[in-house]
Amino acid sequence: MKSSLSHWVRAGAVCCLLLGPALSPALAGTVKVGAIFAVTGPASFLGGPEARTAALVVEKINKAGGIGGDTIQLIVKDSAGSTEKAVSFAKQLIEEEKVVAIIGPSTSGESMAVKKVAEDGQTTLISCAAADVIVNPVARYVFKTPQKDSFAAQMIFEEMRRLKIDTVALASGNDGFGKAGKEQLEKLAPAFGITVAASETYDSKATDLSALVAKLKANAAIQAVINWSVVPAQAIIAKNMRQAGWRVPLFQSHGFGNIEYVRAAGAAAEGIVFPCGRLLVVDALPAGHPQKALLGQYKSEYEAAYKEEASAFGGYAYDAMNMVAAAVRQAGNDRAKVRDAVEGLKNFPGVGGMFTFSPEDHNGLTIDSFAMMTVRDGQFVLYQGK
Amino acid sequence: MSLDLFLQYLFAGITYGSIYAIVAIGFNIIYNTTGIINFAQGEFVMLGGMIAISLLEYLPLGYAIAAAVLITMAIGALIEMLFIRWLESPSVLRMIIITIGISILLRESALHIWGESIRSLPYFYGNEITTFNLGSVHISPQVVWVIVACAVMMAGLSVFFRSTPIGREMRACAANRTAALLCGINTRNMVTLSFMLSAGIGALAGCVMSPITYTQYDSGTSLAIKGFTVAILGGLGNSLAAVAAGILLGIIEAFSVSVVPLAFQDAIAIAILLLILFVKPHGIFGSSEAARLKDF
Amino acid sequence: MRTPRKNISLAALCLVTVGLHLLTAATGTQYYLTQLTMAAYYGLVVIGLGVLMGYAGQISIGHAGFFAIGGYLAAALTTRNLEPFRDAPLVRGLDSLGLLAAGQDIYGAALLTVTPWAACLLAVSLAGLVALVIGVPVLKLRGHYLAMATLGFGTIVYRIFLASPYFGEADGIAEVPAFPLLPALGGFGPVVVSGGAEHRVLNFYVAWGVLILGMALLLNLIGSRVGRALRSLHSSEEAAEASGIATARCKLQVFVLSAVYAALAGVLLTHFNGGIGPSEASVMKSVRYVALVAVGGMTNLWGTLIMGVGLTFLSLRGVFGAHDDVVFGAILIAVMLFTPEGMLSLRLKEWARRLIPGARS
C-alpha cells in the first residue's frame, strides 16, 4: 500500500463532511418540519403522493403568510422504504436539523423502527402508515393519521353478516399494509362468526394471481374473498377472479382507494366493495358534512398542482402536515408544547375524518371515518347494500 | 387434484412461463454475440410498455406498439454506442456492473418521466373479463397473445439467424469473434445490432404482457431476475432451451401454490432451480463445452 | 517492505478514526458520527466481499443474505419471548448455561430472551455454517452460473424472512435491545452497542474498531501464503490447481470468512439501529455491495474500504435525496467506463505522487 493513501483517506473524509448539507441554524422566522417518505423504492405509490401533498400544504401555508409570520421549512427525506435509512434520517432530523416534528414514515415497518428514536429524541412523530401497532400501545410522541385497520375489518365483516356470508378467503400483499390487515382480519373474524377458510400472502410485485385464484376457487365453501393490499395486485386479483368465472363477492381494503386501480381492473372492478375515507366520494356528500369543504379543496388543489387524481394516501400526509401546522400555531416552535398541542386536537377536520386525540388515543378517528364504497361504471360511489 | 384444477394451474404456469421466456430470449441474443448478460434487459421490457402506453394517446394500438418497439430499439442502440461499443475487450464483471448501472439509470428516469403510478395497454381483444372456455378451463385472450408472440418471436429469430446474411454474420460473431473479424465481419456493428434486436424483443414483450401484468417504472427488475434465472436454467445462449426452461419455471411456480403457502413460492421455485443447477452446472440443456467457450 | 507499509496504513486508519471524532467534536457536528458508525458496519461487509471478489475471484450477489441472517437472528433471539416455553428442555438447558436473560416488556409481563452475546455467536456461526454448506456446490459453478446461484441464495433468504411471522414479515423486527459488549471495567463504563445519543461516541469507536480489526485480518490474509494462493487462483485457476494449490478449499474458506464478516456487521448494526427490516436482505442490497467493491477497485482493499464507507455514509445522510439510486448508478457506470480498476486506481495515486512532492512511491 502506498503511503500517499493516508492523504487520500483524510481528504476523502474531509470531503464527506463538507458534502453534507451545511449546518443551518434555525433562522429566525423559520419552523423546521421533517418528513420521511418512501418517495422511491417499492412503497413509492405511498411516499410519492405523500411527499407531493406535504409540499403542497406547506407552500399554501407559507403563501398565506406562514404561521404568525414564520415560514415553514419542510425537510423531506426519501427513505426508499428501507428501515435503516428511516432510522438514520429520523436521528438526523431530530439531532441535527432540530425539527419541531416529523411526519411519516410511509410504511409500518419503518414507523415501528423509528418509534423509539422519536421517543428518545422527544419529538412528535405523525406516521402515515396504517398498522394499529404503531399507536397501540400508545407511545408518548407517536401519532398516526390513517384510519385503523381494525375499523376497516369491522366494517367489512358487518357487511358480510348482512349478506349472510360466513366462510371467506383472505389474500394479502407481503408488505406492511397487507400484514397489518391480515392480522386484524384473522383476529376479528371469530367475533363476527366468520370462518377464514384460507389465508394467502402474495408478493407485492405479483404480476398474475391466476394460480392463487384457481386454488381458492377449488374450495367450494368459500363465499367471498377479502383482499388486503396497496399494490397493483388489487386490480390483478379482481381480473383473475372474473376471468376464472368465479362470481363470489370481492371485498378490498382502504388501499383500493385510488382510481388508478379501478382503471387498471376495468370491467373487473365493477362491484368491488371496500371501506374508505370520504375523499373518493366528496361530490356525493351532503352539503352540511363537516369534511365536505376540506375534501373538495384538497382534491381540487392537488389535482390542479400535479395533474393526477388525489388518493387516500396523499390525504394521510395532508392531515399530518396540517396537524403539525395547527399545533405550532397554537404552541409555537417548541417540541414539548407541540406534542401536547397535537394530543389536544379535538374535532380536527382532516381528509381521513374528524380527529380527536387523547392521551389514550393517538389515532383520533372513529369507525365513522370510513364509509363503504363500491365501483360502478368505473367510478367510486357510496355502497348502498345489495 | 381434479383435472379442472390441474389444467387451471397448467395454464397459469404457461402464462408465467411464456412471459419469463420472452425476457430470457432477449438475454440470450446479447449473450450470444458479446458473451455478456445485459441486466438492463428488464428495463427494455418496461420501456416498451411505457412508451406504447404514452403513444396510445396519439396513435392506434398497433402503430403505438410498432413505434414503441422502434423507439426502444433506438434506445438499445444508443446505450450500446454510448457505454459498450468503445470498450476494448472489457471483463465480464465490468460489463455486469455497467449494465446494472444502466438498468438503475433507466428505471429512475422512468420514475421521473412517468411517475410511480401503474399503467397498462388495453386488452388487444375483448376486455378484462373476456375469456375463452377450453372445456372447463377459462383462458384470457391476452394469454393467447403472449404465447403466440413468444412462438412467433422464436420462429422469426430462427429464420433470421439461419436464412438472412446479417443473421448468419451474427451467428459467426457468436461462434468466434476473432474469426468473424478476420472474415471481414464488422463485429462491432453486430454487437450494436444484437442490442437493438434484444431491445426490440423486450419492448414487444412489454407491450404484449402489459394488459396482464401492468407496467410500472420498476417492473423491469423482477422480470430481469426471472428472465436471467430462466436463461441460466436453460443453458446460456440457447433460446429454445430458454423457452422450455421458462415454461418449466412457470409450471413449478403455479403448482407450488397448491402445496406451500404462496408467500414461499419464490423460495421454493428458486431452491428447485439451484438443485438443478448443482446437478447440471451448465443448465438443463447446456453442454459444458459450449459453456467453457464463454467462461470468464 | 510489505509488512511495515501495511502497518502504516492501518495506523493511518486509526488516526483518521480519531481525527474524525475530534473534527466533529471541534465543529459541534457530532451527529455525523451516527451515520459514520452505520457506514463502518456496511464497510465491514464490503471489505469481506472485496476479498472474495477481488482476490478469490468469486462474485456473490447474495451477501445481503448473510448480513440478514446475522441481523435477523440476533434481533429475533433477543426480542422473542421464550417465557411460554420455559419448561421446554431446550429452553431449560439454555437457561442453565446462563444464555438467557429475564426482563419485562412494556406491559410489565415477564420476558425471557437469549442474551445478546449468545445470540450474536449463534447468528454469526449459523451464517458461517450456511456459507460452508452452500459454498461447496455453489463455488463449483463459474461465471454467470455462479452469479445466478448466489443471487438465488440471496432471494431465498429474503423470501424466508419476508414470509415468516417469526421474523416479523414485512415489518421486520423492532425494539431490539442494546448489546452490552463488555461490562464496566476500572474507570471505564460498560461498552454497549446501542443507538442512544449518549452512546454515540462510544459506538463510533466500537464500529470503527471492528472495521480496523477486520481490515487488519484481511490484510494479513492477503499477505500470507493463502493470499498468494488466492491471487494465483484469480489469474488462472488451472495453473493454481496444477501447482498444487487446493483451489476449492481456498475459495470456500474465503467465502465463509466473508459471510462471517457480513453476519457480524448485520448483528452489530441491528443492535445499533434497534431493528432490522426486509430491505436489508433484498437483492438490490446485494447488488449494491458488489457495486461498492467494484467502484473501490476489485483488488484494492483500501479503495474498497474508502468507497464503501464513503458512499454509504453519503447515502445514509440522504445527500442525494430522491436521486440516491440515480447518483449511485451514474457513479457505477462512470467508474467502470473510465477507471475499471476502481476510483482509487494507480493513475490517481501517480497523480497524487506528482502533486505531493517528497511522497515516496
Whether residue C28 lies inside any domain: the answer is yes
Q: Tell me, what's the pLDDT at C250?
A: 87
CB pair distance less than 8 Å for C337 and B83: yes
Side-chain-facing half-sphere of B96: CA atoms under 13 Å: 19
pLDDT < 50: residue spans in chain B? 291-296
Whether residue A339 lies inside any domain: the answer is yes
Neighbours of C95 (CB within 10 A): 16
Give the pLDDT confidence of A36-86 residue by residue, as tens digits.
Answer: 999 998 888 899 999 999 999 999 999 999 998 899 999 999 999 999 999
- Of the residues B8, B22, B117, the best mutation for testing chain A's interface (the one with the most A CB atoms within 10 Å of its CB) is B117
CB pair distance less than 8 Å for A208 and B222: no
Measured on CA atoms in the order A373, A375, A380, A381, is the torsion positive or negative?
negative
Q: Tell me, what's the pLDDT at B4?
A: 85
Give the pLDDT confidence of A109-165 residue by residue, as tens digits.
Answer: 999 999 999 999 999 999 999 888 999 889 999 999 999 999 999 999 999 999 999
Q: Mean pLDDT, chain A, as a whole number?
A: 90
Whether residue C333 lies inside any domain: the answer is yes
pLDDT at C361 exceeding the cut of 80:
no
Please, which residues have CB within 8 angstroms of residue A17's CB and are 6 or more apart in sequence? C23, C24, C29, C32
Q: Tell me, what's the pLDDT at C344?
A: 60
- Of the residues A215, A225, A229, A234, the best mutation for testing chain B's interface (the one with the most B CB atoms within 10 Å of its CB) is A215
Determine if residue C347 is left, alpha or beta; phi over 0 gives left, psi from -120 to 50 gives alpha, anything else beta.
Answer: alpha
Beta bridge partners of A224: A168
Q: Tell me, what's the pLDDT at A179?
A: 93
**Enclosing domain of residue A271:** 149-276+370-382
Whether residue C360 lies inside any domain: the answer is no
Please name which of C161, C144, C53, C64 lies closest in space to residue B277, comparing C-alpha atoms: C144
Q: Among C40-44, C81-85, C268-272, which stretch is predicted with the lowest mean pLDDT?
A: C81-85
**Enclosing domain of residue C163:** 2-355
Interface pTM (ipTM) of the complex? 0.90
Side-chain-facing half-sphere of A377: CA atoms under 13 Å: 2
Shortest CB distance from C336 goes to which of B101, B221, B283? B101
3-state secondary structure of A176: helix
Tell me the one-letter amino acid at A349: P
Q: Among B77-86, C294-303, C341-350, which stretch is predicted with the lowest mean pLDDT?
A: C341-350
- Most confident of the following: A13-22, B192-201, C326-335: B192-201
pLDDT band at C3 (very low <50, low <70, confident <90, very high): low
User: Contact, C359 vs A3, CB < 8 A?
Assistant: yes
Beta bridge partners of A273: A251, A374
Please name which of A299, A376, A263 lies closest in space to residue B118, comparing C-alpha atoms: A263
For residues A233-244, average pLDDT: 94
pLDDT at C21 exceeding the cut of 60:
yes
Nearest-CA distance C241 → chain A (Å): 28
Q: Tell me, what's the pLDDT at A17?
A: 42
* Whether A142 and A198 share a structural domain: no
What angle do helix axes C32-50 and A83-91 make, rounded to 10 degrees? 150
User: Contact, C157 vs C259, CB < 8 A?
Assistant: no
Residue B102 CA, distance from chain mean position: 17
Q: Phi and psi dihedrals of A194, rounded to 5?
A: -110, 135
Structural domain count of chain C: 1
* Whether A177 and A224 share a structural domain: yes
Whether residue A238 lies inside any domain: the answer is yes
What is the pairing mode between strands A71-78 and A30-37? parallel
CB pair distance less than 8 Å for A175 and C170: yes
Q: What is the 3-state secondary structure (H, E, C) of chain C?
A: CHHHHHHHHHHHHHHHHHHHHHHHHHHCCCCHHHHHHHHHHHHHHHHHHHHHHHHCCCCCCCHHHHHHHHHHHHHHHHHCCCHHHCCCHHHHHHHHCCCEEEEECCCCCEEEEECHHHHHHHHHHHHHHHHHHHHHHHCCCCHHHHHHHHHHHHHHHHHHHHHCHHHCHHHCEECCCCEEEECCECCECCEEECCCHHHHHHHHHHHHHHHHHHHHHHHHHHHCHHHHHHHHHHHCHHHHHHCCCCHHHHHHHHHHHHHHHHHHHHHHHHHHHCEECHHHHCHHHHHHHHHHHHHHCCCCHHHHHHHHHHHHHHHHCCCCHHHHHHHHHHHHHHHHHHCCCCCCCHHHHHHHHHHCCCCCC
Whether residue A5 lies inside any domain: the answer is no
Q: Tell me, what's the pLDDT at B132?
A: 86
Locus of grid cell 477497485:
C297
pTM (2 decimals)?
0.91
CB pair distance less than 8 Å for B263 and A202: yes
Whether residue A11 lies inside any domain: the answer is no
Residue B231 CA, distance from chain mean position: 9
Rounded to 5°, the CA angle A209-A212-A215 comes to 150
Please name which of C311, C305, C288, C299 lies closest in space to residue C345, comparing C-alpha atoms: C299
Q: Tell me, what's the pLDDT at C107?
A: 63
Please name which of A341, A319, A316 lies closest in space to residue A100, comparing C-alpha atoms: A341
Nearest-CA distance C77 → chain A (Å): 17
Q: Is B100 on the interface with C (CB under 8 A)?
A: yes
Please, which residues have CB within 8 angstroms of residue A300's CB and are 6 or more apart in sequence? none
Give the pLDDT confidence of C27-64 residue by residue, as tens digits.
Answer: 988 899 999 999 999 999 999 999 999 888 888 999 99
Please name which of B74, B64, B21 lies closest in space to residue B195, comparing C-alpha atoms: B74
C-alpha cell at C9: 496504513
* Whether A139 and A156 share a structural domain: no
pLDDT band at A251 (very low <50, low <70, confident <90, very high): very high
Beta bridge partners of A372: A275
For residues C245-258, average pLDDT: 88
Q: How many CB pairs under 8 A join A and C?
A: 179
Residue B265 to residue A347: CA distance in whole angstroms: 46
Structural domain count of chain A: 2
Q: Is C51 on the interface with B (CB under 8 A)?
A: no
Task: Give whole-number Cα distances, C167 to A34, B224, B251, C79, C278, in Å.
Answer: 30, 28, 29, 10, 9
Which residues from chain A sit within 8 angstroms of residue B10, using beta carbons? Answer: none
What angle do helix axes B3-34 and B187-213 make, rounded to 10 degrees? 160
C-alpha cell at A56: 403542497
- Helix-then-strand count for chain B, H and E: 12, 2
The domain made up of B3-293 is a member of CATH 3.40.1440: no
Look at C320 and B296; give whichever has higher pLDDT. Answer: C320
* Whether A43 and A125 share a structural domain: yes
Whether residue C270 lies inside any domain: the answer is yes
Shortest CB distance from C152 goes to which of B37, B274, B283? B274
pLDDT band at A228 (very low <50, low <70, confident <90, very high): very high
pLDDT at A237 exceeding the cut of 60:
yes
Residue-wise burial string across B131-152, b where 16 or more C-beta atoms lie within 10 A, e elsewhere:
beeeeebbbbbbbebbbebbee
Give the pLDDT confidence of A278-300 residue by residue, as tens digits.
Answer: 999 998 899 889 999 999 999 99
Nearest chain B residue to C338 by CA distance is B87
Q: Tell me, what's the pLDDT at C341?
A: 72
pLDDT at C150 exceeding the cut of 70:
yes
Determine if residue A34 is left, alpha or beta; phi over 0 gives left, psi from -120 to 50 gives alpha, anything else beta.
Answer: beta
Please, which residues have CB within 8 angstroms of residue B196's CB and are 6 or more apart in sequence? B73, B74, B76, B77, B80
* Whether A122 and A162 share a structural domain: no
- Most confident of the following: B162-166, B251-255, C262-266, C327-331: C262-266
CB pair distance less than 8 Å for C29 and A4: no
Residues B137, B142, B143, B144, Cα dihedral to 10°? 90
Whether residue C361 lies inside any domain: the answer is no
For residues C9-13, average pLDDT: 91
Residue A163 to residue A383: CA distance in whole angstroms: 13
pLDDT band at C353 (very low <50, low <70, confident <90, very high): low
Rg (CA), chain C: 21
Q: Tell me, what's the pLDDT at C93?
A: 85
- A70 secondary structure, DSSP code: B
* Whether A191 and A336 share a structural domain: no
For residues C300-322, average pLDDT: 91
* Whether A139 and A155 share a structural domain: no
Whether residue A363 lies inside any domain: the answer is no
Task: Give whole-number Cα distances, B99 to A228, B58, B73, B88, in Å.
Answer: 36, 32, 16, 16
- What CATH number is associated with residue A304? 3.40.50.2300
